[in-house]
Structure 1
Amino acid sequence: MANLFINQAKQYAVGRPSYPKQLFQYFASKTPSHDLVWDVGTGTGQAARSLAELYKNVIATDTSPTQLEHAPKLPNIRYQHTSPIISMEELQQNVVATESSVDLVTVAQAMHWFDLPKFYEQVRWVLKKPNGVIAAWCYSLPEINEAVDAVLLRFYNNSYWDPQRKLVDEKYTTIDFPFEPVEGESDTGPFDQFAIERVMNFDEYITYLRSWSAYQKAKEKGIDLLGADVIENFRRAWNVDGDGQKLAKYPIYLRIGRVGKQ
């Protein structure tokens, strides 16, 4: 999986949207202490940067060293390159050395890539008990206007997505999530009360599309999914209501739970 994001790491850092502050404030309201976060699959650090404003320390891990090179460098974030599947030995040596020491584990737009049984075993080991929290979320396609969204849907429906992408299409409703509801919630979600809103111009929108793993996978096979004709279709749709900047809205689907006393 990591190889899909190596070549376009810079595009990923520029093209991927930032998450709303309200999302991280919600997490902070569910953890009694705010000492340590493990941000798994951090990519270029979009979530880690916001977490660092609310928690004393953030450990941000990823399987791609190239992605980590483009992450924001802040004094209370430690970036760590890891194996695609982290062993308990690697976890304890390179990520979190002490059991029951992490307040919050976050996974932004990445959990569909994980070996979930092994990952959940590690989550249970690192999180504080009984109130350590895990939060994992994905976001759906950006909504611009009817014309652009129609072209995007045709572009999105290609054969280069990995099978794991189906979990995102299903908004994490079918993902295994064996945790207890956090205080104030009756279940573990997915919740859709949050959304990313980003103002972008046409070139920024195309850069975002080029950050997709399906685009990169096709490109490695010598196929450019964003050829001149496709870009022209997007441009015509973009210009339907003016050729300036537009507000893109990405609905977020959140799973959140706690480990309990186990």
Structure 2
Amino acid sequence: MAKLFENQARQYADSRPTYPSQLFRFVASSTPSHHLAWDVGTGNGQAAQSLAEIYQNVIGTDTSEKQLEFAVKLPNVRYKHTPSTLSMMELEQTVAPAGTVDVLTVAQALHWFDLPIFYRQVKWLLKKSHGVIAAWGYNVPRVTDDVDKVFDELYEVKLRPYWDPRLAMWEDNYRNIDFPFEPVAGADDTGPIEYVMEKEMDLGAYLRYVTSVSPYQTAKEKGAGVPWEDYIERLKSAWIEDGSHTKVARNSSRGLDRGKQPEA
């Protein structure tokens, strides 16, 4: 899976939306202390940067070294490249001692994990009784009705055949995943909760986003050479139809699950 994101690391970093600050304030409101945050599958560190504004120390881990190269460096953020599997001893050596993590976040990555193994690691490192895990993803960008119509057709006709089966979990908003954590105090359940992300982009930035999605990269890896030139032209026509060169792309940050470590 890491290789899937190696080739378009720069493209991914440049084109992806920024998570809203309200989301992180919401997550942080659940943890009584703000000493250590662990961002798993951190990629280019988008979530880690926001966590660093609230938590004293942040560690971001990812299986892709290339993605980590584009992560913004901050004095209280430590990035670590990790293999796809880690023993508990290796986990403690790489991330933190058992029972010391205040909050663990997973942004747009939970669907790639082996969940039973991952959840054991989560429970091992989170603080007992009040350590919190929060996981979320975001949907494809919505721009205008005309642009969205072409994008949706491209996705279904050309890219759907190259979907990794694990993406079904993301497409379902994480609603039906096993999530073995207790609701946080004051919450009716663990989620989902929705936030809206906005990013102004021109046509070039939008097309970089489109070609950074994992099904497109999978097609390239398999030498399929997705024939989508006609869609490019249709996207261009739809984009300039209203006469504006830049548009606001809106993504919903969705399927947020927030739970705390079960009582010891």
Q: TM-score, normalised by structure 2?
A: 0.95
Paired-residue identity, %? 53
Query: Which has the higher mean CA deviation after the structures are superposed, 217-226 or 236-245?
Result: 217-226
Cα deviation for residue 222 of structure 1 reads 2.8
Corresponding residue number in structure 2 for 1:133: 132
Could you tell me which of 169, 186, 204 is aligned with 2:171?
169
Checking the alignment, whether the CA contact within 8 Å between 2:31 and 2:132 is kept in structure 1 is: yes
> Take 2:178 and 2:199, find their aligned partners in 1: how far apart are those partners?
30
Gaps of 5+ in 2: none
- Size of the alignment, in residue pairs? 260
Which has the larger displacement, 222-231 or 201-210?
222-231
Q: Please name the residue that 1:240 is paired with.
A: 241
Letter in 1 for 2:32: P
Query: Which residue of the partner structure matches residue 228 of structure 1?
Result: 229
Residue in 2 aligned with 1:249? Answer: 250
Cα deviation digits, residues 116-136 of structure 1 (max 9, x gap): 111111111111121111000
Q: Hey, what does 2:218 align to over in structure 1?
A: 217
Aligned equivalent of 2:142: 143
Cα shift at 1:164: 0.6
| Secondary structure of the corresponding residue to residue 29 of structure 2 | helix
Distance in 2 of aligned mates of 1:112 and 1:164: 6
- Could you tell me whether the CA contact under 8 Å between 2:99 and 2:124 is conserved in 1? yes
Q: For residues 260 and 67 of structure 1, what CA distance do their matches in structure 2 show?
A: 33
Aligned to 2:90: 90
Paired residues of 2:154 and 2:228 also in contact (CA < 8 A) = no
1:184 Cα shift? Answer: 2.1
- Equivalent position amino acid for 1:141 in 2: V
1:58-97 map, 5 Å: 58-96=58-96
Alpha-carbon distance, 1:240 to partner? 2.5
Q: Distance in 2 between matches of 1:210 and 1:108?
A: 20
Which residue of 1 is the match for residue 202 of structure 2?
201
SS at match of 2:245: coil
- Residue by residue over 1:226-251, the C-alpha shift from the partner in whole angstroms, topping out at 9 and shown as x without a partner, is 74322111111112322311111111
- RMSD across aligned C-alpha pairs, in angstroms? 1.2
Structure 1 unaligned spans of 5+: none
Verify the 8 A CA contact 2:19 2:253 in the aligned structure 1.
no
TM-score where L is the length of structure 1: 0.96
